[in-house]
Structure 1
Amino acid sequence: MRFVPEPPGRSESMKLRAYLASLLLATAVDAAGQMNCDLKAYKEQPGLSARLSGEALELEWQGAAGAQLRASFGIANGQPVVRELAVMKQGGSWAPLGRDLTPDFHVTTGKRRISEQQLQPLRELGRMDPAYLEEQKWNVFWDSPLTVPGVTRTNPGLPRKPEEIRRDGVKYQISGCEVKTDGARIEVTFPGVTLGIFSGRLVFTAYKGTNLLRQEVVAKTEEPSVAYKYHAGLKGFRTNAVSRVTWQDTSRSWQKYEFGGAVNRDPVALRARNRLAIIESNNGSLAYFPPPHKFFFAREIELNLGYVWFRKDDANTFSAGVRHGDREEGYRPYGVSDAQWNKRVSQARSFAQANFALYNAPPGTWQRMAVYYYLSPANARATQTAVLAFTHGDTYKRLPGYQVAVSHFHTHFNEMLSDAGTIDAQPTWLPVFRSLGINIAMMSDFHGDGHATDAGPLRFADQQTYFDGCRRHSDKEFLIMPGEEPDAFFGGHYTMVFPKPVFWSHVRKEGQTFEENDPKYGKVYHVGNAAEELAMLRNEGGFVWQAHPRTKGSSGYPEAIRETEHFRSDRYLGASYQSLPVDQSEKRICEKRCFGVLDDMNNWGAAKYLFAEGDTYAKYPDDDTYSHLLVNYVKLPKLPAFDDSWKPLFGALRAGDFFVTSGEVLIKNSAIEGTGAKRTLVADVEWTFPLEFVEVVWGDGGKIERKEIPATQYPAFGSQRFRIPFDTAGHKWVRFAVWDSAGNGAFTQPVHLK
C-alpha cells in the first residue's frame, strides 16, 4: 500500500469539519430535550394534528371507518427515525404496527441515450441540430441503461461500460424538520438527504380521512443524461412483533413468509398481484405499495417483475418496501409450429435485452421517489380490500353511458389463429382486457407479423383471419376492432381504424388500381400514396391518429405534417397518449411530450384529440397490466356488436365525447356553460386518492396558458362538481384536467370555442 502524506493543515481542517458536523447534529434536539422542528407553516385542524413530545414529533390523523392513525418521528445521530407507527380502531386503544424504523432508499443510475429508432425519422426530416437531439433523448423508449454492453445499433455510443452504472444507498445528515399543513394533509420534511448523485430531503405526508402515509425522497442532480430507478421502504421491523409478510401471488393465491428462514443478503422480490404486500401482526396490518401508475415506465410487455420486497436483515429484524428490477424479462413464447415458436422466442429475447428505459432525471429537476403505507387495525385480507379500493380492484369502474376503450396492441392475433389452425383458439390477452373492465379493444396487427407489405392475396387472407377472429371473440359486452399501425404514406407511425372491416394494402403492384372488386373479398383498396390513403379513409369513414408522437418512429411528428391535407382533414383525429417517458418531477402523466403535442395541435388548427393507447405486445392473466395502461371513457350508451354499425362510436370520437384516465379519477360529465366572453367550465368528478389539483388549459392559436387550482382540501374517495369561471377573450380552445396526489389523473378533450 502506498502512503500519501497528508498536506499541512488538512488534519486540523478535517477535525474542525467533524466538530462542526457534530454540533449540527446535536441541534436536532435542543437543551430542553425537544426535537427542533419548524412549525410556522402548520395549522391545526380537527382530525389532523402535529405536536412535539419530547424528542419526537407526533402526527395524529383521522382515518377511514373511524380509525385513528399515529406516526411519531425522531432524529438519532443525524438519522431520521420513525419512532412508531400505530393505529386505533373505533372504540379501541392504540396498537403499534412498527417501532424505531429507518427510512431506507437506494438508487441505481445509468446514462440516458437517444435511440436509433428516433434518429432514423429525424435524419430524414433534417432535424439533427445537437440542441434538439439533446431535448429529444428524454423521449426515448428503446434504451436500457443497466444492460452492459447493450444491443448493437439500438443506441449511439454503445457499448455501455460498467462504470456508467452507480448503485448508492441513502445518507442522512438531518438536524431538524419542517411541518406544513396543506389542505387536508400534513407534510413533515427532513432536509439533509444524499442519495448517490441526488441530494434533497425526506418527506412524510399524512392525509386526513384515509389511512395512507406517503414516504418519499425529493431530490435533484445536476449531472447530465441521468436515467435511474429507486428502491424505497423501512428497515428495523422486529420479527418477534410481526407474524408474517403476506401477499397474493399472480395466480391470486395467498402466500406468506414468517421469518423462519436464513438471513437474506438481498431484497426478496415478490411477484405480488396488485403490487401489494402486507406486514401482519396481532395488532393489525401495514400494507406497502408503489404509486399505481407513475412508478412504472413504458415497456413492450407488462410482465410482473416483482415490485414489492422484504429482506430478513438478521435474526431479529427485517426490512420491506418497493422496487424495480435491473432488466426486462422475456414473455412466455407460444406457437404450434417451429417457425412461430422461434419467432416469438426471438422477439421475447430482443425485448429483454434492448428495452428497460428507467426514469428520466434532467439536471435540476426535483425527482419524487415515493412509497405508500396503509395503516390498518384489521387483518391482511381486510387491509388488502381497503387498499385495492384506491384502484377499484385494478379495474376500470363502470360509468353509466360510457364504454371503456383501449387501442394499439401488437398481439399478432392473425398469426396466432393461423398457427393454431382454428379461430376458436382463445388468445391469452382476451381475459386480461375483460377482467380489467374494458369494453372495446382496438388491436394493431401487421406490425412485424403477417404479410404487411404484400399487395393483395397473402395480406387479404391474413386480414380475413384477423376479421374473423375479432368477430368470433367479440361478445355482448366486449368488442374487438381490427385496427393497424401502418407507417406508409402519412409520416411517422399512425393508428388506423374503420367503422367496419376493410380490406386494403399499402402496396400496389403494376396492373392494380386504387379500388378493385376482388372475387373473394369484395371491395379492396391498393393504396399508393397519401392522397389515396386519405381517400380510402373518407370513403369508408375511418380515422387515423399519430401513434407515439415525438418519440419512437414518430419522432419529429406530427409537426412535420401539420400543413398536409391529411393532417388537416377531419379524418386525422389527433395523436395517442401513453405514459412515456416517465419523469418523477412531473405532476402529470406524460406531461411534456403528450400534452405538448395536444396543445400544439389545437393551436395549429381545428380540434385534435389525444386517444390513450397501450402499444404493447403479448399479454397473460398473471401480468401487471393495470399499472401500465391508460384508457378512454367514450360517451356511448350502448356497445355495438361486431356486425352492427360502429358509426355511433366513431361519431363520439370525432366529437371529442370521451375522456382519458388512469382509472382512479373519473370525469362523469363536463360542459361549458354560458355565452359570450364570460363562461363557466362545469365538471362532475369522482376520485379515490386524495386530490392534488384541477386545471383549465387554453390556447389562443399561439401561446398556451393554464389556471391551476389547488385541491388538497379534498380527501380520498370523494366527488365534487367543479365550476370554474373563465374569460373567453383571446381563447381559441379550452380543456379540463384533474390530478391526484399519487400522480393519477383524467382529462377531457379540447373544446374549440365559438
Structure 2
Amino acid sequence: MNICRAFLATLILISLQPPAVSVPLDLAGVRPGPISVVRSEDSVAVTWPDETARVWRATFSLNPAQPLITSIGADSEAVVRSARPFYQGEIGKRRGGWYAFFDDPTTHPDGTRHVQSTFQLRAATARSVGERVEIVFDGLRMGSFDGGLAYTFYPGSRLIQQEAVLTTYDADVAYYYDAGLDVAAPSDRQPGNNMRTEAVFYDTDGALRHTTLNGLQAERVPVQARYRTLALKTAGGSVAVFPAPHAYFFPRDFTSNLGFVWHRAWRGRVSLGIRQLRDENWQYYPWVNAPPGRPQRMSVFFLLSAAAPEAALAHVLRYTNGDRFRPLEGYKTLATHWHLADTVQAIANGFDWTPPFKPVLKAMGVDAAMIMDFHGDGHPNDLTDLRLDELHAYFGALRAQSDPERKPTCTSADTGRSCFQSPCTGS
C-alpha cells in the first residue's frame, strides 16, 4: 500500500512540473537576403545556399531543456543531430600590464583555475552582418566569464563559425580555451557500449590517415594533425573542425605540433574540437588578455559536407590555402625572426649543409627568411676574434643557402646584444 502511495505521489509531482518554456527570440536585426531566419513554436531555423546553390538548414532549439542544435544538414539529410557546444579553459592572473609576452600565468602566486562551461539558454538574437547572419544564444558561463554562444553563417559556403562571446569583469585576467562540438551518433553505437566512428586527418608528413574510434576512451584524444584539422564521418556526411588561422594560438617560443585538434567517441555520441596546452615546460606562456568588460570571441570553425570526411578536409584546405603563402606578383614573401642556431650548425656541418628549416619554409611558399642567430647560441658576449669569426660565418652560411640568382637582401637582425645589417636566406 505504501509503495502504491509513493508511486502515485511521484506521478502527481511529475505531472505538476511546468513544461519548459521557449525563450524569446529577437529577429529585428535580420534583413532580407540570401540567408533566412524563421521561428517556429520552439525552434529557429537558419537556411542558406552553399557554393553549388544547394540549400542547407540549421535548426536550433529554443527550449532550454533540449540540446541547442537540433540538426544541421542539406535537403532532408542531417549531417549533425542533437549537438551541444563544448568549451573549457584555464584562467590565470596577469602581472605587469597587458603587454606581457614574457609573462607566465602558471607561475603566479595565486595559481590558475580550470573552468568548464555551462549553458542554460536565456534568450536568442539574430542579426544580419552584410550578407552573413549571426545568431547569438544567451546563457553561457565559464568561470568568471559570462555571455552567450554565437553562430555565423556565410552565403555560398558550408562553413559555420561557433564563438563563445564571453566577458569577465575581474582584473588582470589571462586565459586560453578549448572548443568543440558534441554530436549524437546512435548509428555508430555497437554492442557493449562500443563505438565505430571514422576519423580522418593528415599526419605531420602530409599523408591522409583513417582511424576507427572504438569508444573505449572517455577522454578527448589529441591528434598531431597537419593543417590543424580533422574530420569525423556522420550518418549524413561528415564534419571537419579547425581553429581561426591567425586568432587562436597565443605566442609560443617553439613551433611544435602538440596535438591541437581532438576527437572523442563515447556511448552513442562523438565529439571533435580544438585545444591549447598551458605550457611546454619552458619559460614564457603569455596566454590571452581579457581586459575587464571587453568581450572575448572564442572561435572555432566547422565545415560540413554531405560527402566523405576526405571531401570535408579538402574543402578546409581551400580556406587555409593548404598552409602555403600564395605568391603576390611583384612581391617576395619574407618570414622573420627565426632563432634556429643556424651558424653554429653550419660551422659544425659545413656551409654546403642544408638546414632542415629551409625545405620546410620553401614548401610553405616562403621566398626569404630572416635568421636571428646568436640568441643564446654561439658567443654573443665575446670581445675577441672568436666573436668576429662567428659573425663572418653567419654571413657566409646565409649566403651559401641563398640561391645564386638571388642576391640576399639586408635587414636589421638581433644578434644577442648587437644589432647590425645582415642578409636573409633567399630560397
Distance 1:202 1:261 in 2: 28
Relative to structure 1, the CA distance from residue 179 to residue 475 in structure 2 (aligned partners, 3 Å threshold; closer, same or farther) is: same
- 2:102 counterpart residue number: 142
Distance 1:239 1:250 in 2: 31
- 2:32 counterpart residue number: 44
Distance 1:176 1:199 in 2: 14
- 1:28 counterpart residue number: 22
Structure that is richer in strand per residue: 2
Unaligned runs of 5+ in 1: 1-21, 30-35, 88-92, 115-136, 151-157, 329-351, 490-494, 502-639, 643-754
Distance 1:244 1:377 in 2: 15
String of CA shifts for 1:148-198, please: whole Å, max 9, x gaps: xx4xxxxxxx5x35xx32122222221331111121111111112211110
Q: Secondary structure of the residue that 2:392 maps to in structure 1?
A: helix
Q: CA deviation at 1:286?
A: 0.9
Q: CA deviation at 1:302?
A: 1.0
Relative to structure 1, the CA distance from residue 478 to residue 68 in structure 2 (aligned partners, 3 Å threshold; closer, same or farther) is: farther
2:339 maps to 1:415: no
- 1:602 counterpart residue number: none
Contact 2:224–2:260 (CA<8 Å) still a contact in 1? Answer: yes
String of CA shifts for 1:730-753, please: whole Å, max 9, x gaps: xxxxxxxxxxxxxxxxxxxxxxxx
Correspondence for 2:122 among 175, 186, 197: 175
Q: CA deviation at 1:111?
A: 1.6
Give matches, 1:80-91, under 5 Å.
Answer: 81-87=68-74
- 1:277 counterpart residue number: 230
String of CA shifts for 1:251-300, please: whole Å, max 9, x gaps: 11222332224132x21111111110111246322111110011011111
- Quick check: which has more Rg, 1 or 2? 1
- 1:253 counterpart residue number: 207
For 1:315, the aligned partner's letter is: R
Correspondence for 1:195 among 142, 145, 155: 142
Distance 2:163 2:55 in 1: 22
Contact 2:102–2:286 (CA<8 Å) still a contact in 1? Answer: yes
- 2:402 counterpart residue number: 474
Q: Secondary structure of the residue that 1:175 maps to in structure 2?
A: strand
Which one is further off, 367-376 or 303-312? 303-312
Distance 2:169 2:406 in 1: 49
Distance 2:396 2:416 in 1: 24
Aligned residues: 403
- 2:5 counterpart residue number: none
Distance 2:306 2:138 in 1: 32
- 2:191 counterpart residue number: none
Contact 1:439–1:477 (CA<8 Å) still a contact in 2? Answer: no
Q: CA deviation at 1:481?
A: 5.8
Q: CA deviation at 1:487?
A: 6.4
- 2:14 counterpart residue number: none
- 2:56 counterpart residue number: 69
For 1:245, the aligned partner's letter is: A
- 2:275 counterpart residue number: 323
Q: Secondary structure of the residue that 1:414 maps to in structure 2?
A: helix
Contact 1:174–1:191 (CA<8 Å) still a contact in 2? Answer: yes
Relative to structure 1, the CA distance from residue 196 to residue 458 in structure 2 (aligned partners, 3 Å threshold; closer, same or farther) is: same
Distance 1:641 1:433 in 2: 11
Distance 1:65 1:380 in 2: 18
CA RMSD of aligned residues (A): 2.5
Contact 1:85–1:98 (CA<8 Å) still a contact in 2? Answer: yes
For 2:275, the aligned partner's letter is: R
Contact 1:200–1:218 (CA<8 Å) still a contact in 2? Answer: yes
Distance 2:407 2:142 in 1: 48
Give matches, 1:565-580, under 5 Å.
Answer: none
2:249 maps to 1:296: yes
Relative to structure 1, the CA distance from residue 240 to residue 641 in structure 2 (aligned partners, 3 Å threshold; closer, same or farther) is: closer
Relative to structure 1, the CA distance from residue 291 to residue 641 in structure 2 (aligned partners, 3 Å threshold; closer, same or farther) is: closer
Correspondence for 1:218 among 160, 165, 181: 165
Q: Secondary structure of the residue that 1:469 maps to in structure 2?
A: helix
Q: TM-score, normalised by structure 2?
A: 0.87
Relative to structure 1, the CA distance from residue 141 to residue 252 in structure 2 (aligned partners, 3 Å threshold; closer, same or farther) is: same
Q: TM-score, normalised by structure 1?
A: 0.51
Relative to structure 1, the CA distance from residue 228 to residue 412 in structure 2 (aligned partners, 3 Å threshold; closer, same or farther) is: same
Contact 1:44–1:50 (CA<8 Å) still a contact in 2? Answer: no
Q: Secondary structure of the residue that 1:472 maps to in structure 2?
A: helix
2:363 maps to 1:438: no
String of CA shifts for 1:676-707, please: whole Å, max 9, x gaps: xxxxxxxxxxxxxxxxxxxxxxxxxxxxxxxx
2:189 maps to 1:229: no
- 1:106 counterpart residue number: 88
Contact 2:374–2:416 (CA<8 Å) still a contact in 1? Answer: no
Contact 2:93–2:174 (CA<8 Å) still a contact in 1? Answer: yes
Q: Secondary structure of the residue that 2:187 maps to in structure 1?
A: coil
Q: Secondary structure of the residue that 2:282 maps to in structure 1?
A: helix
Relative to structure 1, the CA distance from residue 311 to residue 261 in structure 2 (aligned partners, 3 Å threshold; closer, same or farther) is: closer
Unaligned runs of 5+ in 2: 1-16, 189-195
Q: Secondary structure of the residue that 1:390 maps to in structure 2?
A: helix
Relative to structure 1, the CA distance from residue 43 to residue 80 in structure 2 (aligned partners, 3 Å threshold; closer, same or farther) is: farther
Distance 2:102 2:314 in 1: 37
Distance 2:393 2:259 in 1: 37
- 2:12 counterpart residue number: none
Distance 1:269 1:231 in 2: 12
Distance 1:209 1:641 in 2: 39
Q: CA deviation at 1:239?
A: 5.4
2:329 maps to 1:400: yes
Q: CA deviation at 1:109?
A: 0.6
Percent of pairs with identical residues: 30
Q: CA deviation at 1:464?
A: 2.5
Q: CA deviation at 1:107?
A: 2.1
